[in-house]
Amino acid sequence: MDIGDIYRKIADHINAGTCIAVVGAGISATCEFNGKKYLGLPLARDIVADLKSKRDYLHDAQDLGEVAFLFRENEGRAELEKYLLERLNVKGIEPLPAHNYLATLQLPCYISMNFDNLLERALTACNQKLLPVCADEDVSLHTPTDILVIKPHGSVDLPKSMCIAMDETFSFEERIPIVTHFLLSWLSNRMALFVGFSLSDRDFLELIRYLKSKLGKYMPHSIAVMRSKRGFLQKFWDQYNVQIVDSDATEFLFETHKRLKQLKFQLVEDLEPWMRNQFFWQLLEIRGLPTETQVIDALLREIKERISAGEKIELLEKEVSEAISLVLRYRPNRSALKSIGEELSDILRRCKEQNLRLWDEFGKLEKRRKVAGEQISSQASAIIGSARSILIYSQSQRVTDFLGAVDPSLQKLITLFIGECRVKSPANFQDAMAFARQLRNTHYTIRLIPDVGMFHLLKKKKFDLVLLGAHMVFQSKETEEYEYFVNTCGSEAIVDIACKVDIPVNVIFEREKVVRLFEKSQLESVSYEPEEIISSEAVRTMAEEPTLSERLRVENIGYDLVQWRKNVSAVTDEKLET
């Protein structure tokens, strides 16, 4: 099997949800990638050398297990834990490129033989819901939406769970029997990708032999990425169904990540041209067009990844500008993206001219956006108040985050009605279902409702509150009051009916979506082009009616320009404004 076949095999297993990663200490060690050095954590040999240089009683200890045993017996378990935390939970050490690439693979399960939490931090940064498993009682907490991080040796986050001395690592099965069988169940029918090990690594050797003894002929085909050119080793490991790939782990994970994105891109048809840009490949998993916030988040993740990989500022500046311009050509209403583009352009220019650290300046932008989201979400419970029946319409990341921030005990009392949003739904309830999926980890009762039924219930005053997002908000130059906002077609009718029956409407948006209205002619720049081509099913039916096919078309309107009314309030990242 050549390297291309190996990448394809891994990609097939990842897409099928049948690939898991087994991670060794090498993944967290200091490394070089794309000409840049990344500071990591010490390896076992470094810890052994450090301890032996300071303690005479360790002079004849041969490995970490022996060193840790003697340390504990001479100075106590508490001192051993303190030392390990000092060496392996170091302030200022960030997840390395290998951790970040592992996280973007979005595997269902990671088995980490490491004490450190760098992988968990990388996964959290990718907005993944984690369940670390260090003890038997953790297994019962597992739900289908969790990303598992199984840590047989324990974690720095739970110092008492760390097993390092020789007599603590003899048998997983005796110490954590439920975790052991849980781990075996994950490995029995999935391909394992081993990274961060060497062929002489005791963890690697013991784990493979243990799995072989338990799984026998059911031992799945696995791939181990490590530096090795010895034919003997490949022949030896064939008996364990392990294929050795001679590669640097970080470079291999980067290439896997890149090829996986390319494969997803090739599988998706009928994309708008801007979604074919590499900055937005992460959005291919979203059925239908993503929200503006999702587009911005994808753009920033890709930029961060390229900064981490050492891409030159000049190239990044050119590619970011082209990517944003391409989106705005097809989606001119995305004012926040335009604002972010201007801010990024300024950051890149200043870093180039003033020799500033791009990583640090980019971090400030990320922090500002995070604070903006927190400021919006912090108002959630107060704004919801006594509302028990809430209408939401047209998928919005800010609305989703806002609802997620409501007190869970209050969520249980509320029913959310999600409008179908047919203008964005090629399939029945497509947009509403996407909205509902984003709320899967909340406690709301959720109801999907056709658009016409939504208008009917509005007129009957069956809702206590309406929550909407916005693509663009126009603010008066003179009075600084809000005059209009742009949102998905159907929003104007919602606001109009809600105003007549006195139902409050909250429009949730970040301040970067605000556009100063100097003259009414600015409103002419608003696009009403449809977001989705919703006519695919109708076209097939039309083809069966030859007498009509030449005269029959589907018309769809994408947006409404909604006039601000007395019942509409703005929820922004500074304050609540009416």
175 or 28, which is more confident: 28
d(CA 329, CA 223): 44
For 324-331, what is the mean pLDDT?
Answer: 86
pLDDT at 181: 87
pLDDT at 174: 82
Band the pLDDT of 436: cuts 50, 70, 90: very high
Digit-coded pLDDT (tens) for 138-176: 999 988 888 999 999 999 999 999 999 988 876 777 888
pLDDT at 233: 66
The reply to whether domains 3-39+95-252 and 378-542+557-577 share a CATH topology is yes
Show contacts of 358-364: CB within 8 Å, 24+ apart.
Answer: 358/307, 358/313, 359/307, 359/308, 362/303, 362/304, 362/307
d(CA 222, CA 191): 5
Digit-coded pLDDT (tens) for 501-522: 999 999 999 988 898 887 777 7
- Strand pairing report for 36-38 and 19-23: unpaired
Asked if the model's pLDDT at residue 137 lies above 90, the reply is yes
pLDDT at 509: 93
- Domain range annotation of the chain: 3-39+95-252, 42-89, 270-376, 378-542+557-577
Asked if the model's pLDDT at residue 66 lies above 50, the reply is yes
Question: Whole-prediction pTM value?
Answer: 0.56
Asked if the model's pLDDT at residue 529 lies above 50, the reply is yes
Q: 3-39+95-252 falls under which CATH superfamily?
A: TPP-binding domain (3.40.50.1220)
Task: Please give the DSSP secondary-structure letter assigned to residue 96.
Answer: P
pLDDT at 215: 74
d(CA 175, CA 169): 9
Band the pLDDT of 404: cuts 50, 70, 90: very high
CATH number belonging to the domain at 378-542+557-577, selected among 3.20.20.140, 3.40.50.300, 3.40.50.10470, 2.60.40.420: 3.40.50.10470
